[in-house]
Amino acid sequence: MAVKKIGVITAGGDCPGLNAVIRSVVKRGIVDYNIEAIGFLDGYRGLVENKSIDLTYDRVSGILNAGGTILGSSNRDNPFNFYYDNKQEEPIDVSNLVVENYEKNKLDALVCIGGDGTLTMAHMFAKKGLNVIGVPKTIDNDVQGTDQTFGFDTAVYTATSAIDQIRTTAASHHRVLVVELMGRTAGWLALFSGIASGSDVILIPEIPFNIDSICNFVTDRSTRGKRYSIIACAEGAKPAGGDSIVIENKDKRTGMVRLGGVGNYVAQEIEDKTEISSRTTVLGHLQRGGSPTPSDRILASRYGSKAMELVMDGVFDVTVCLKGNKIENFPLDKVANNPRLVSRDSEFLQIARSVNVSLGE
């Protein structure tokens, strides 16, 4: 197909590496294929309201190492279930507006950079006839079909660095310090940063924890002269037989609960049951920010280049993905509403157990 113009969006939660993808898509499109690119502002909302900027060569120069996204993002704007503002009582389906604006801008393809939710919507638009390519982004590393999302490596580095610094105060005060990490229903971020930081306990959503088992573990460490313990705890971790702990019930615009508070729960239970002083640190959005690591810059650049290649080859309704060391593509219909979780036979769980890390079982 003759491609003359493409659109780009960044949607969902922000993460390091978004700008690197935008840069790679646009520069390869201009240098190799002489195409025109525009970027819609604030995720799918920009497509609904037809708000965009020209993505010229100069505009995307110098953004490789910049965190965030020059296009803005939103994780609350679903065109199939859309709210124009918080005063609106019921959502409406404005997906046809997106199709109209795609056609009005004379686009030949749309590159959607985002996580599970963004790519699920991308597939829905592919079914409405749009030429869509996905690029998998999230610090949670939970997109199906790819070995790794960009943004994950930077978040692991940030979380690991924080735990490294927390260790000194835990040792000084002989405390149990619980570090609550993001990840929603997937434990990749807590598992990787827990292993990398040498955390003593790692709690992930895929393995409900037994609080008595954790208490026995930290007590045993204390009696052996290990007078402090570090616990890397995913925000979606939950006690065996119980539910995930939430700060806020379902948001009407996203349909998602706001996870949080499990770190405080674990710390309080440990202190009550063992009388070992325990504290919690919640890293929160710190994990999303900052400049991407070299690894993420390279992965994001590879993804962007491959996305542009797929556009020119006319391969749509797929997401780019990493398989081993190769950049390939994966059907969007297999990504939709199908998060990639840590399996019980994961090599990384085995690594954790092999160095005597408790998983709260």
Q: pLDDT per residue over 133-162, tens digit each? A: 999 999 999 999 999 999 999 999 999 999
Identify the architecture of domain 5-150+292-335 in CATH: 3-Layer(aba) Sandwich (3.40)
Q: pLDDT per residue over 46-81, tens digit each? A: 999 999 999 999 999 999 999 999 999 998 899 999
Calpha distance 358→361 (Å, rounded): 7
pLDDT score, position 26: 98
3-state secondary structure 75-142: CCCCCCCECCCCCCCCCECCHHHHHHHHHHCCCCEEEEEECHHHHHHHHHHHHCCCCEEEEEECCCCC
Calpha distance 10→20 (Å, rounded): 12
Which H helix or E strand runs over 52?
Answer: strand 52-54
The burial class, CB within 10 Å (0-12 / 13-18 / 19+), for 85 is exposed
pLDDT higher than 90, residue 319: yes
Give yes or no on whether 5-150+292-335 and 152-288 have one common fold.
yes
The region, left, alpha or beta by phi > 0 then psi within -120 to 50, assigned to residue 269 is alpha
Residues for the chain: how many in total?
Answer: 361
The burial class, CB within 10 Å (0-12 / 13-18 / 19+), for 324 is exposed
Per domain, the residue ranges of the chain are 5-150+292-335, 152-288
Calpha distance 19→148 (Å, rounded): 18
Please give the full DSSP string across 311-352, using - where no structure is assigned: HHHT--SEEEEEETTEEEEEEHHHHTT------TT-HHHHHH
220: its two tokens: 């045993």
Calpha distance 288→22 (Å, rounded): 18
Which CATH number is associated with domain 152-288? 3.40.50.460
149: its two tokens: 């999302």
Calpha distance 249→287 (Å, rounded): 23
Look at the block and give the residue holding tokens 């119980």.
242
The burial class, CB within 10 Å (0-12 / 13-18 / 19+), for 104 is exposed
Q: pLDDT per residue over 213-266, tens digit each? A: 999 999 999 999 999 999 999 999 999 999 888 887 777 677 778 889 999 999
Contacts of 223 (CB under 8 A, 6+ apart): none
pLDDT band at 36 (very low <50, low <70, confident <90, very high): very high
pLDDT score, position 243: 87
- Give the global pTM: 0.94
Calpha distance 226→279 (Å, rounded): 17
Say if strands 246-248 and 278-282 run parallel, antiparallel, or are unpaired.
Answer: unpaired
DSSP state, 191? H
State yes or no: is 296 an active-site residue: no
Share of the chain above pLDDT 70, in %: 99
CB 283 within 8 A of CB 182: yes
CB 276 within 8 A of CB 222: yes
Calpha distance 204→226 (Å, rounded): 23
Share of the chain above pLDDT 90, in %: 91
CB 183 within 8 A of CB 140: yes
Q: Calculate the average pLDDT of the chain.
A: 95
Of 140, 153, 200, 296, which is the active-site residue? 140
